[in-house]
Amino acid sequence: MVARRNWAGNVHYAARRFHEPTSVDELRRLVAGSDRLRAAGTGHSFNRFGDTTGDLVSLAGLPPDVTLDRDRSTVTVPAALRYGDLATALHAQGHALANLASLPHISVAGAVATGTHGSGVRNGNLASAVAALELVTADGDLLTLDRDADGDMFAGAVVSLGALGVVTRVTLDVAPAFTLCQYVRLGLAREALDEALDSAYSVSIFTDWRTPLLREVWVKQHAELPPPPAGWLGTTAAETPRHPVAGLSPEHCTPQLGPPGPWHERLPHFRLGFIPSSGDELQSEYHVPRAAGADALAALDEVAHLIAPVLQVCELRAVAADRLWLSPNHGRDSLAIHFTWVGDAAAVTPVVAAVEERLAPFSPRPHWGKVFGLAPAAVAAAWPRYADFLALMVRLDPSGTFRTDLLDRYFPRP
């Protein structure tokens, strides 16, 4: 059954028809016969890029085949597969993905299309692991794009916001399975931010904009390495497990305090078998050059008094540069500044505007699946290959089948 609203409940889809095809051929006929169509993922986007007044299609009914190619170190998966389910299957065969997002509940194609990410100074976002894509284009044709064979066009098509076609299968790089430990340290000085981000395989830092100190550091490091020593960067060790949002129970979080475990049970913040929250929230995120991270945070200090009252938690993560045209990390190592707001759009919207105003000097790139209000000109200026992506949209979708109102705002037809 195709969901009628997103996970957070702030978007009720306007589609006139909902579909769940059970084969790629059925999907191809649907696409070819529609004037407006979008694919629905797990609904974890907070804006209307994925909405349509036409046909909304769930891919959950397509064949669930997962094909591991040990010679090429890749795995090919259906677009609707959740990362947590893929990770469990891969680990059972001795393989791993390089990184995971904080939620393992999101679909592969949806996360890739929006540039969703985990953390780690040497880890790219989830889309950077894509080796090939299969998609249905507006005329119902099946197109395969390969990283090695299709070069520049491939780089334009991976993070695509669903604007080029309906992705049916994704091929991802894999590596040998590995073991991590997760530690939580409390009370990090802002001056130690970069050193903390550099300290382990994956690091997430949480703050509430109420005090100068960064509240918590979640350190995910290889199990063979020693834990952070006493007094590490002036912090203290947490004595009990934590939830990213202060005051909430950590029972749904992945194990902390140091016990070793498989990569897919430590890299996400939340466990696959649990719903991490009620969804009563809004989210925004901005990627700035990592070299400008300290200055960007200092600029946000000017509006901390506005941020704090409507904030549940703010997370800071490092993401490595890539070459994907619409990736928030295209061509630059980034500091991702993520806000989980209260679920009150009227209260949050002016604060988002204030955040964007302070970040403007740092060429912020929004996470495509979150709430943002940047002017279209600012978005166009933030991505060097913006004009090339516009041309690719026209080339692969000349009739505008996959267009939405929000796409038209930020990517108007030339």
Tens of pLDDT along 116-147? Answer: 999 999 999 999 999 999 999 999 999 999 99
- 12, pLDDT greater than 90: no
Model confidence at 308, pLDDT cuts 50, 70, 90, reads: very high
Q: What percent helix, strand, coil does the chain show, rounded to 5?
A: 30, 25, 45
Model confidence at 2, pLDDT cuts 50, 70, 90, reads: low
Model confidence at 181, pLDDT cuts 50, 70, 90, reads: very high
pLDDT at 49: 85
pLDDT at 139: 96
Answer for the pair 286, 337: CB distance below 8 angstroms, yes or no. yes
- Mean of per-residue pLDDT scores for the chain: 94
pLDDT above 70: percentage of residues in the chain: 98
- 282, pLDDT greater than 70: yes
pLDDT at 11: 75
Please tell me the distance from the alpha carbon of residue 208 to that of residue 296, in angstroms, as a whole number. Answer: 16
Note every long-range contact of 403-411, with CB atoms under 8 Å and residues 24 or more positions apart, other chains counting: 403/36, 403/163, 404/38, 404/48, 404/49, 404/50, 404/51, 404/52, 405/48, 405/51, 406/47, 406/48, 406/49, 406/51, 407/49, 407/161, 407/163, 409/376, 410/376, 410/379, 410/380, 411/163
Model confidence at 277, pLDDT cuts 50, 70, 90, reads: low
pLDDT in tens, 64-90: 999 999 999 999 999 999 999 999 999
Number of domains observed in the structure of the chain = 1
Tokens 């970069």 locate to: 194
pLDDT at 278: 56
pLDDT in tens, 345-397: 999 999 999 999 999 999 999 999 999 999 999 999 999 999 999 999 999 99
Residue type, 297: L
In a domain, 340, yes or no: no
pTM: 0.96
- 250, pLDDT greater than 70: yes
Q: Number of H helices and number of E strands within the chain?
A: 11, 19
In a domain, 271, yes or no: no
Which alpha helices (H) appear in 273-344, and where do they start and end? 293-301, 304-307
Residue 273 or 292, more confident? 292
Answer for the pair 141, 34: CB distance below 8 angstroms, yes or no. no
pLDDT at 346: 96
Residue type, 200: A
Residue-number span of the structural domain to which 102 is assigned: 67-176
Residue 6 β-bridge partners: none
In a domain, 365, yes or no: no
Answer for the pair 84, 272: CB distance below 8 angstroms, yes or no. yes
In a domain, 297, yes or no: no
pLDDT at 132: 98
Answer for the pair 228, 199: CB distance below 8 angstroms, yes or no. yes
Count of other CB atoms within 10 angstroms of residue 96: 20
pLDDT at 8: 66
Please tell me the distance from the alpha carbon of residue 397 to that of residue 412, in angstroms, as a whole number. Answer: 13
Q: What is the CATH number of the domain that holds 89?
A: 3.30.465.10
In a domain, 341, yes or no: no
pLDDT at 216: 97
pLDDT in tens, 22-63: 999 999 999 999 999 999 877 778 877 888 889 999 999 999
- 276, pLDDT greater than 70: no
pLDDT above 90: percentage of residues in the chain: 88
pLDDT at 50: 85
Model confidence at 296, pLDDT cuts 50, 70, 90, reads: very high
Which alpha helices (H) appear in 41-101, and where do they start and end? 83-92
In a domain, 111, yes or no: yes
Counting every residue, how long is the chain?
Answer: 414
pLDDT at 5: 75
pLDDT in tens, 325-342: 999 999 999 999 999 999
